[in-house]
Amino acid sequence: MTPPNSASAAEALDTATAEPADAPLRRLDLLETQASSVDQSDRRVPINLRQSGPTPTELLISTRVRKSPYWHLSHKAGCWRATVYNRMYHPRGYVRPEDGGAMVEYDALVNRVTMWNVAVERQICVKGPDAEAFVNYVITRDVTRVAPMRGKYVILCNERGGILNDPVLLRIAEDEFWFSLSDSDIEMWLRGVNTGLKMDVDIAEIDVSPVQIQGPKSEDLMADLVGDAVRAMPYYGLMEATVGGRSVVVSQTGFSGEKGYEIYLRDATLYAEDMWNAVLEAGEKHGLMVIAPAHHRRIAAGILSWGQDLDHETLPFQCNLGYQVPRKKTADYIGKAALEKVRADLEAGGRPYRQQLVGMVMGGRPITDYAPDFWLISGADGGEPVGYVTSPWYSPELGANIAMGYVPLEMSALDTPLRVWLPEQYAEIPGQPVEAKVVQMPFRASANPSARERARLQGRDYAD
């Protein structure tokens, strides 16, 4: 099935099961109690599904949470709110709601070019004679196939197969790798693993901080900054360069599904202003806008966010990352035995886990801001909740709300009708769930389609 367009999105809602006349008004129950009807029996710590809404408590600013080298520059650019990610303050809004909010930032991303402060992608360097062998043991994919000055999206799993982190891995040299982390502190895990392995590697966080340059005009902006050689850079390619007179590594990667790059600044605590201001100056003629990381666009691209769409108790097969479990990698890696057992069970028709991540098109008023809760999902009858939404947003291109969420494995087939319990500001009828339907992800084509996406569009199975 191809990604839905506006017509198919509307059709998906039109064909969902109609609201039963006697559907119970259960909003009060959903707000006050844990949804025990959602089967999380395969988790040691179930996700808290109480619907508490926005938290009015003031966030305490303290030295326990780090400020990135770009934090003050984000303030200058208009950052008005933030969250915590990798124990660092993380910008989450530049345009205030009264001025259009996050959807103004979305417009800049899909039509021009944007810069994001993503220094929270902390860089953990593994360097030394045994670096390749060590990295190959802690990730599921085969790192021997990654050449120097190339990158790869990877996952690290625990011995049970749960996903500890899903970083971009940069191979800077034969003996040097950078893990560009998502939101879990993996440095201590790597150090602990090597306490037992005793491989000849040095493992440490380094003073390198990235920004992302994303949007259809990103290539032209990057060419102005580092030269036309960037135009020939392949997806997940790397290059050494200087920006603002400072040493950087440039990658063609990003968290948006749009054309994009990341600039990894060395000695970032010293030179943040030089690089940042050089980008701002070069970006003026391209309509550059500093924005928050575009979760609205990454949802449409089917890009996952660790801690939101997956965590250390999530198996790759549960969240559409089964392709990260290679069939041909002969070398051992952490979690290999558990993951191969799960795959065999699935292929034999088994049910080795309870919940499956799916894409959904759903009704309701446009969702134009971050969801503070895991909103609950019921079957077509609107009965007891059976799953939960992880990442919702409104898609202007599709003219409908879209979301990722977990539903029982047996309800994960395309076209399965569902109901989603939205909060009152988005619900069509207060106290009543909106219609939804399982659809294919990504919701819209990416400017830089991954190998997995290209294979799916060509009708092929992709396994690394």
Q: Residue 53: what pLDDT? A: 79
CB 283 within 8 A of CB 115: yes
Q: Residue 60: what pLDDT? A: 79
Cα separation, 256 vs 279, in Å, equals 19
Q: Residue 8: what pLDDT? A: 41
Q: Is the dihedral of CA 37, 39, 45, 46 positive or negative?
A: negative
The DSSP line for 186-208 is -HHHHHHHHHHH--S-EEEE-SE
Show the CA angle centred on residue 42, arms to residues 169 and 371, nearest 5°.
65
For residue 13, pLDDT over 60 is answered with no
CB 325 within 8 A of CB 334: no
> 396: which strand partners?
none
Summarize pLDDT for 415-436 with one digit per residue, the tens.
Answer: 999 999 999 999 999 889 999 9
What are the tokens at 386?
């059976």
SS3 219: helix
For residue 448, pLDDT over 70 is answered with no
CB 318 within 8 A of CB 308: no
Q: Residue 451: what pLDDT? A: 56
What are the tokens at 347?
């292929």
Cα separation, 389 vs 401, in Å, equals 12
| DSSP label of 237 | B
- Tell me how far CA of residue 162 lies from CA of 129, 140, 261, 342, in angstroms: 29, 11, 29, 11
Cα separation, 227 vs 242, in Å, equals 10
Q: Is the dihedral of CA 422, 425, 427, 430 positive or negative?
A: positive
Helix (H) / strand (E) element for 124: namely strand 123-127
Indicate the pLDDT class of residue 67, thresholds 50, 70 and 90.
Answer: very high
Stronger pLDDT, 35 or 452, i.e. the higher one: 35
CB 178 within 8 A of CB 170: yes
Cα separation, 27 vs 163, in Å, equals 33
Q: Residue 29: what pLDDT? A: 60
SS3 241: strand
Summarize pLDDT for 270-291 with one digit per residue, the tens.
Answer: 999 999 999 999 999 999 999 9
Task: Give residue for tokens 């603002």.
Answer: 244
362, HSE (Cβ side, Cα atoms, 13 Å): 34
CB 186 within 8 A of CB 211: no
CB 241 within 8 A of CB 250: yes
Percent of the chain past pLDDT 90, that is, above it, reads 84
Radius of gyration of the chain (CA): 22
Summarize pLDDT for 222-249 with one digit per residue, the tens.
Answer: 999 999 999 999 999 999 999 999 999 9
What are the tokens at 332?
């051992």
CB 289 within 8 A of CB 112: yes
Indicate the pLDDT class of residue 188, thresholds 50, 70 and 90.
Answer: very high
End-to-end CA distance of the chain: 22
SS3 114: strand
Cα separation, 439 vs 436, in Å, equals 9
The DSSP line for 356-400 is EEEEEEE-SS---S--SS--EEEETT--S--EEEEEEEEETTTTE
Stronger pLDDT, 339 or 60, i.e. the higher one: 339
Q: Residue 6: what pLDDT? A: 38
List the one residue out of 216, 264, 220 whose CA is nearest residue 240.
264
In degrees rounded to 5, what are phi and psi of residue 403?
-160, 155
